Amino acid sequence: MKKVSLTGIKPTGILHIGNYFGAIKPALNLAKDYDARYFIADYHALNTMKDPKELASNIREVAAGWLAAGLDPEKVIFYRQSSVPETFELSTMLMAFTSKGLMNRAHAYKAAVQENSEKGEDPDAGVNMGLFTYPVLMAADILLFDSDVVPVGKDQVQHIEMAQDIAQAVNFNYKEEVLKIPRAAVQDSVAVVPGLDGRKMSKSYNNTIPVFTPEKQLRKLIMRIVTNSQAVEEPKDPETSQIYLLYALFASQDEQAALASRYRQGGMGWGEAKEELFRVVNRELSPLRERFEAIMADPAALDKILEQGAEKARPIARATLKRLRKAAGIDP
Ligand code: TRP
């Protein structure tokens, strides 16, 4: 039997090329060798997103984005978290095995508390129970599907460790392996994708290049990349230029070598380098953009894909839940 790869995608913003190289491509690669279960973590997003229109459109856009990027819903079980209510039943059961102290140590909660104390506010100001218990819901997402590996970014590793701790507490109590212990798959080979300002590309820095932005806008964003003031004639160092680092993600080996040598010779200005970058980015993204627009034009078909995914997911979920309820003495 193939091993299971599972990950959740929080629909809190539109997809940018940092997500594309850091999360989407590696997860789709894993899906070639694993039984993949990828889902839209809409209840996780609810903690921070209270505008219904915005949340609804993010859910669709993020789902369409993964499909446009090549997720095959025939091969990957692709669903909305909210369409698999077993998740929330498992989450409630896991609460009984999760110490409050464990949640107190979660990075996101600790950061919120620290920010509050720095501002002289109540430590828990603005912290809802969804944020506080976030790792339990995430553990339920993972443990429900007997996941072997969970492809995530470094920032999520603590959450996977908490899922392991919670699963171990359950297994220890019932003296059997009721829940499978998952492990994180962190892609450390993936280069940090630089943003428009040279810092890591991130929604919170407002320096992103969205994957599905129209061609004109894409060009504008690329032209906006911050550079130093070296003149056209001066030789330039590819390794310290974010134009080049971005280029390397989209270009072939030969193209990379050619651009690097033009940089080193001098005579190539930043404007020309940006044109060359735009060319390769647009070459990779235009077919994705076309698929994305086609998917977004038919929301009913998209919802159907997600519903069919949930229908495949629920029997697996029910089996896990039954196992745990039986072990717990709550089997009707
Ligand atoms: N917490 C993850 C993030 O912020 C999203 C997520 C929710 C997730 N449930 C998950 C990731 C389960 C992996 C597995 O990106």
Task: Tell me the helix, strand and coil percentages in the chain, rounded to 5.
Answer: 60, 10, 35
Beta bridge partners of 39: 8, 79
Closest CA to ligand 1's atom 10: 8
Full-model pTM: 0.93
Q: What is the pLDDT of residue 203?
A: 87
Residue holding tokens 């906006």?
Answer: 224
200 as an active site residue: the answer is yes
Helix (H, G, I), strand (E, B) or coil at 186: strand
Residue 162: which of 211, 226, 107, 214 has the closest Cα? 107
Best mutation site among 34, 82, 141, 143 for ligand 1 pocket (most ligand atoms within 8 Å of CB): 141
Cα→Cα distances 81→20, 34, 123, 199, 222, Å? 21, 20, 30, 32, 35
Q: How far apart are CA 227 and CA 238, in angstroms?
A: 12
| 41 CB near ligand 1 (under 6 Å) | yes
Q: How far apart are CA 277 and CA 214, in angstroms?
A: 16
What tokens were used for 199? 């810092």
CA of 135 to the centre of ligand 1 (A): 9
Q: Which of 32, 53, 100, 119 is catalytic?
A: 119
| 329 φ/ψ sector (left φ>0, alpha ψ -120 to 50, else beta) | left
Q: What is the pLDDT of residue 191?
A: 63
Q: No. of H helices and E strands in the chain?
A: 15, 5
Sequence-distant (6+) residues with CB within 8 A of 222 are 209, 274, 277, 278, 281
CA of 204 to the centre of ligand 1 (A): 17
For residues 151-184, one letter each, b for 16 or more C-beta atoms within 10 angstroms of the residue's C-beta and e for the rest, the string is bbeeebeebbebbbbbbebbbeeeeeebbeebeb
pLDDT in tens, the chain (332 residues): 899 999 999 999 989 999 999 899 999 999 999 999 999 999 999 999 999 999 999 999 999 999 999 999 999 999 999 999 999 999 999 999 999 999 999 999 999 999 999 999 999 999 999 999 999 999 999 999 999 999 998 889 999 999 999 999 999 999 999 999 999 999 765 667 999 998 999 888 999 999 999 999 999 999 999 999 999 999 999 999 999 999 999 999 999 999 999 999 999 999 999 999 999 999 999 999 999 999 999 999 999 999 999 999 999 999 999 999 999 999 87
Closest CA to ligand 1's atom 11: 8
274 as an active site residue: the answer is no
Closest CA to ligand 1's atom 7: 8
Q: What is the pLDDT of residue 278?
A: 98
Which atom of ligand 1 is closest in space to residue 138's alpha carbon?
Answer: 9
Please calculate the CA angle 296-274-254 and round it to the nearest 5 degrees: 95
